[in-house]
Amino acid sequence: MLRRAWKPIIGATVLVAPPAYIYYRYTVSDKNSTFSLNVREKGPDGKATMVKHSFPLLSSAVVDQRINELATFTSQPPSEGLVWKHTTAQLSSNDPIEDAHARAVITTNTSSSEPARNLLFYAVMDGHAGFHTSRLLSHVLIPAVMLELGLFSGQGDAASTKSSILDILKYPFSYSSLPRSDAPQIGQVEKVSRAIQRAFYNVDFEIVNGPLRVLAANVGKLDKTDVPDLSQHPMGEASMLPALSGSCALMALLDPSKQDLYVACTGDSRAVAGIWEENEDGTGKWRVEVLTEDQTGRNPNEIKRIRSEHPASEAEDVISRGRILGGLEPSRAFGDARYKWPREVQELLYKAFFAGTGRNMRSTPSASKTPPYVTATPVITHRKLSLPNPGSTQPESSSSLKFLVLATDGLWDELSSEEVVALVGGHLSGLKGTIPKPSLQTLVPTATGSPTVEGKEHTRRSAYQGSWAFVDDNVSAHLIRNAFGGGDEGELRRILSIPAPHSRRWRDDITVTVIWWEEAQGSRTKAKL
């Protein structure tokens, strides 16, 4: 059925020359394989000025290697007649990359009420002010969610106890506990959603309070008026750096047996689903279903929420220039403790861990009066998967979710949700070659389902000039290539040739995970993708 709709484009190859305009955006010397850019540098007087620099122009082969060097593909063994597949690819702008990712497949225990089933977890993390928080989350976030899911399924929904380290320090910083409910009328979807929220909250609680735990364990050894010197403490940097750095996190939990999809978003990464809508004649189009909102100071929903949490006198300061207190762009994040700790706590921790070491700790935002201003509590979205039942003789639904894209904001800075769904849909259908941008909508028709709530000001490349390239086997790498030039090789080479730290003005770190399913051999029908 679905394959019939794609027959006209499978194996299609359309070759076009890149438009001339891209050759004039930079000063290029093809003879020496260099190009020039105006970059910002500090002069001898400490003031930043724009200076023209020449950089080596990477070859097409090196560019291909960079796009694919961190690309992976995994296929899970068949389960319930389905084979789950996913790709992940990364491209750095910062050195080292500040993004991270994680995945896990967990088989539940058999119980008297239901058989064992597989749960699939996928997550991408978008770090900022360093990689410390994102890398930590890649190791602990999914296990924390598993722990919370085990708590309510095996031991009821009773609250876990948490001792307060701040009772020792006597500082006025704490989070209020996330609500739990033992009400029998709460459904499974609500329970799972609350468990995920608690897990995100608990992880951030530990990250932000880690340095305070270390300080609390040492403050009693000295006179009350003294601040201990913990600059050489083995847990000093290990606790401070993840708290001071920050990271967004986007996690998907797929429960194929129950046909459930949960997406948890903290920050401005985005999840988008491709939903195939088939007509009676076998043709069809992709509906673009955006599953998250970009959580920044430009999102009206986030602006309203944050202002409601602080005195009216701070209304003009909590969001300034689209940023939290005029500084941080995402309105939800792990770490970023300078937006969560009171001013006096920050001063105390600086003295204990950094004084005399030469390491700088960023100053407290001047408008900070009633922290915390940033939360790690995610917004949860639930959708049904509409997966086929291999043992059923009933016809499939004409509308079903076929793939899911999770990506950090570096991708969405360059591509729209509609473009990403069309690029993935075309890739999975077998489209090959170089496609003029205006032709993609004809070859891979899309329709907007839920619109994107943009949280950033974008300066995306034109959707009508240039071309898309279908040349990568890995669909995540395919999206990264097309984010920075696609079939316009000159544009792609120059953008990827800009070295760190200058590259950050032109592009961000990108991490992309694409998840899809195929029906196993011997099932009712052959694979659809």
Give the pLDDT band of residue 32 (cuts 50, 70, 90): low
Determine which of 76-85, 267-276, 347-356 has the lowest per-residue pLDDT on average: 76-85
Residue 212 has what DSSP assignment?
H
pLDDT at 407 over 60: yes
Structure tokens at 235: 């847990």
pLDDT at 462 over 70: no
Give the pLDDT band of residue 162 (cuts 50, 70, 90): very low
Strand 270-278 vs strand 260-266: parallel, antiparallel, or unpaired?
unpaired
Give the pLDDT band of residue 17 (cuts 50, 70, 90): very low
Cα angle, residue 25 at apex, residues 19 and 28 outer, rounded to 5° = 100
CB 438 within 8 A of CB 422: no
DSSP three-state, residue 315: helix
Q: Where are the alpha helices (DSSP H) in 18-155?
A: 60-68, 132-155
Report the pLDDT value the prediction gives residue 395, as an integer from 0 to 100: 55
Q: To the nearest whole number, what is the mean pLDDT of the chain?
A: 84
pLDDT at 403 over 80: yes
Cis peptide before 501 (omega within 30 of 0): yes
Distance CA 408, CA 90 (A): 10
**Burial 82-93, CB ≥16 within 10 A → b, else e:** bbbbbbbbbbbb
Proportion of the chain in helix, strand, coil states, percent, rounded to 5? 30, 25, 40
From the number of C-beta atoms within 10 Å of its C-beta (0-12, 13-18, 19+), residue 409 rates as buried
Q: What pLDDT digit, counting tens, does each position of 360-380 carry?
A: 788 899 999 999 999 999 999
Report the pLDDT value the prediction gives residue 160, as an integer from 0 to 100: 41
**What is the sign of the dihedral through the CA atoms of 130, 132, 133 and 135?**
positive
Structure tokens at 294: 């970009």
Distance CA 406, CA 272 (A): 7
Structure tokens at 434: 């170089």
Q: What are phi and psi of 516, to 5 degrees?
A: -150, 170
Q: What pLDDT digit, counting tens, does each position of 306-334 carry?
A: 999 999 999 999 999 999 999 999 999 99
Structure tokens at 156: 């009821």
Structure tokens at 338: 């300078």
Share of the chain above pLDDT 90, in %: 65
Give all strands (DSSP E) within 280-352, no chain letters. Answer: 284-290, 319-320, 323-324, 334-335
Cis peptide before 372 (omega within 30 of 0): yes
Distance CA 253, CA 255 (A): 7
pLDDT at 161 over 70: no
Residue 397 has what DSSP assignment?
P
pLDDT at 53 over 90: no
State pTM to two decimals. Answer: 0.86
Which residues have C-beta within 8 Å of that of residue 512, sequence separation ≥ 6?
87, 88, 89, 90, 124, 405, 406, 407, 408, 411, 476, 479, 480
Report the pLDDT value the prediction gives residue 511, as an integer from 0 to 100: 98
Residue 210's H or E segment, with its range, is: helix 188-219
pLDDT at 176 over 90: no
Q: What are phi and psi of 136, to 5 degrees?
A: -65, -45
